[in-house]
Amino acid sequence: MHAPNLTLWGVGTSRTVRPHWALAELGLKYETYAIGPRTGETKTAEYTRLNPRQKVPLLQDGDFAIGESAAIVAYLSRTYSTPDKSLIPEEKQQYAKWLEWCFFIVTELDSTSLYVMRRHSADALGPIYGVAPEVVAKAGEYFREQLRHVEVALDDGRTFLMGDQFTSADILLTTCLEWAIAYGVGICDNAHPYLERIKTRPGYVRGNAANVPPAPGEPVRRPA
Ligand SMILES: N[C@@H](CCC(=O)N[C@@H](CS)C(=O)NCC(=O)O)C(=O)O
């Protein structure tokens, strides 16, 4: 394994916390450039060269750069898991089930539901993308409906989505559950004790602390 030279761009959102948390779980050292969304910092020429999508988060690993929070977390899991600290199942079919969870969470829970709520809420991005209370309500209902798959999965008493092994699918799911709670969308019954278990993890605590934006007036660290 090559020596890591890791830099993570982005703080302050449900998406940016994912790689901060994965890095903490894997015990990796990294630099943070604490840029935030809708600050103009994702639109600079320098950042656009690194990430033409102009979004956070973005991870640099030496000369390699990758965006999309779920892809970053998958890259970290694949590249830096060790037998002692692994965020990804090894066995092929378990790996496929892990992928199934990751895609389900990112497409059904995040993009189709919570992000739609964010995009069309009057007090979020509605002024930019169009305020649409009915769309927001329907997206919340859809989220609740999709969560039944999580409820069923956790019904057999398993500790994490993949059973006894904590994986990066749990990172993605937790960020969506917390996002839903913040939006006043109820979560399924089994998700409550699940979240309590997850929140005791040192990686969760460290990852969330690293995702806190700088205080007003505090200088944002940028590359030299
Ligand atoms: N699907 C992307 C979404 C990333 C995204 O939309 N990031 C927002 C903040 S949550 C952003 O950087 N927007 C650009 C900006 O506001 O400057 C991911 O999961 O990484």
For residue 49, is pLDDT > 70? yes
- Closest by CA to 224, choosing from 78, 39, 2, 7, is 7
Q: Are 87 and 25 in contact (CB under 8 A)?
A: yes
**130-160 pLDDT, tens per residue?**
999 999 999 999 999 999 999 999 999 899 9
CATH architecture, domain defined by 6-85: 3-Layer(aba) Sandwich (3.40)
Residue-level pLDDT at 224: 46
Q: For ligand 1, atom 6, which residue shows the shortest CA distance?
A: 55
Residue with CA nearest ligand 1 atom 2: 68
- Could you tell me which of 210, 217, 220, 216 has the C-alpha nearest to residue 6? 210
Ligand 1 atom nearest to CA at 42: 17
* Prediction pTM value: 0.96
* pLDDT score at 222: 63
The domain over range 92-201 is classified in CATH as 1.20.140.10: no
Rounded to an integer, the average pLDDT of 120-133 is: 97
Mean pLDDT of all residues belonging to the chain: 95
Q: Calculate mean pLDDT across residues 57-71.
A: 98
d(CA 47, CA 8): 12
DSSP string computed for 45-57: HHHHHH-TT--S-
Asked if the model's pLDDT at residue 215 lies above 90, the reply is: no
Nearest CA to ligand 1 atom 12: 55
- In this structure, the residue with its CA closest to atom 5 of ligand 1 is 55
**Distance in Å, CA 172 to ligand 1 centroid:** 15
- Is the C-beta atom of 15 inside 6 A of ligand 1? yes
Domain boundary assignment for the chain: 6-85, 92-201
Answer whether residue 1 shows pLDDT above 90: no
